[in-house]
């Protein structure tokens, strides 16, 4: 089992001071967080990919390449890379370079993105999100496993005798996670290829996530990659801890109420009752984490 931290790189006003970090400060802060992740003994740091305010991580491989030079053991990942709006050829090249620079400490998490306006900025249609994810990954998977690729699909120009460079380190592609909050098609895709499935377990009740994971495990076995319990599952979650629960709730509430990720919706109490978000003492966090 591995534990790590992922950041979506949002710029949120500090409700206690009224100050918002500059883009420069936030980017540097994310890099420092990644280095500290290794220092405290965690296994993975992952950065999101966003191309719209109020977020800053538009170039994940640049960030992770910098972190690779500052760390020795940390697995570097994305959370997520947009398989729908990025060219699979560029993903193959960028992450192969990162894999070489990090001596193999590279994972790749793929997702569709949940911000509608981003799609037309990159010439794509959000209504084709699932189809883009399926076709683009089929190409990426092939680019990393064949020295010469001929390809024709619906969403990009054909490739004839194309070789993606550099080749994956030691001919072993980065480990791939397929990330999703709500789409069974993505669980099916992960199972088909025998890749990892990352259920971003931050917004929905645990029953929904349990159904998604069960589907992935069942289909992983169906496709002959091993038994269902050998399927590789990742889960996202949020925790805020203080020595006692009252201090944790008091300190975290203004941040929850004002974050662009989940503020201005359900109350903190409603959200913690319905999702894995845990705000409290270390004992409460451990007990609830084991329960989920």
pLDDT tens-digit readout, 57-113:
999 999 999 999 999 999 999 999 999 999 999 999 999 999 999 999 999 999 998
Per-residue confidence band for 263, with pLDDT thresholds at 50, 70 and 90? low
pLDDT (0 to 100) of residue 292? 62
Per-residue confidence band for 149, with pLDDT thresholds at 50, 70 and 90? very high
pLDDT (0 to 100) of residue 182? 83
pLDDT (0 to 100) of residue 289? 73
Length in residues, the chain: 292
Q: Is the pLDDT of residue 239 over 80?
A: yes
């Amino acid at each position: 089992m591995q534990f790590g931290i992922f950041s979506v790189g949002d710029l949120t006003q500090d409700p206690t001071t009224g100050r918002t970090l500059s883009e420069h400060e936030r980017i540097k802060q994310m890099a420092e967080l990644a280095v500290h992740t290794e220092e405290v003994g965690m296994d993975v740091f992952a950065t999101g990919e966003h191309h719209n305010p109020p977020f800053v991580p538009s170039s994940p491989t640049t960030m992770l390449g910098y972190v690779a030079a500052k760390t020795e053991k940390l697995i570097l990942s994305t959370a997520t890379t947009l398989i729908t709006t990025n060219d699979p050829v560029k993903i193959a090249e960028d992450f192969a370079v990162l894999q070489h620079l990090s001596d193999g400490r590279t994972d790749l998490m793929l997702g569709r993105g949940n911000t509608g306006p981003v799609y037309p900025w990159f010439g794509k249609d959000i209504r084709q999100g699932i189809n883009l994810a399926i076709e683009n990954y089929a190409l990426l998977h092939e680019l990393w496993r064949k020295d010469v690729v001929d390809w024709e699909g619906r969403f990009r120009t054909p490739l004839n005798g194309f070789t993606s460079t550099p080749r994956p380190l030691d001919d072993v592609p980065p480990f791939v996670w397929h990330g999703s909050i709500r789409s069974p098609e993505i669980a099916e895709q992960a199972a088909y290829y025998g890749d990892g499935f990352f259920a971003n377990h931050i917004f929905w009740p645990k029953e929904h996530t349990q159904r998604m994971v069960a589907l992935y495990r069942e289909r992983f076995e169906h496709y002959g990659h091993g038994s269902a319990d050998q399927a590789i599952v990742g889960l996202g979650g949020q925790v805020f801890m203080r020595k006692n629960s009252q201090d944790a709730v008091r300190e975290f509430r203004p941040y929850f109420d004002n974050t662009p990720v989940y503020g201005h919706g359900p109350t903190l109490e409603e959200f913690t009752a319905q999702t894995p978000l845990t705000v409290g003492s270390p004992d409460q966090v451990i007990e609830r984490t084991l329960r989920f």
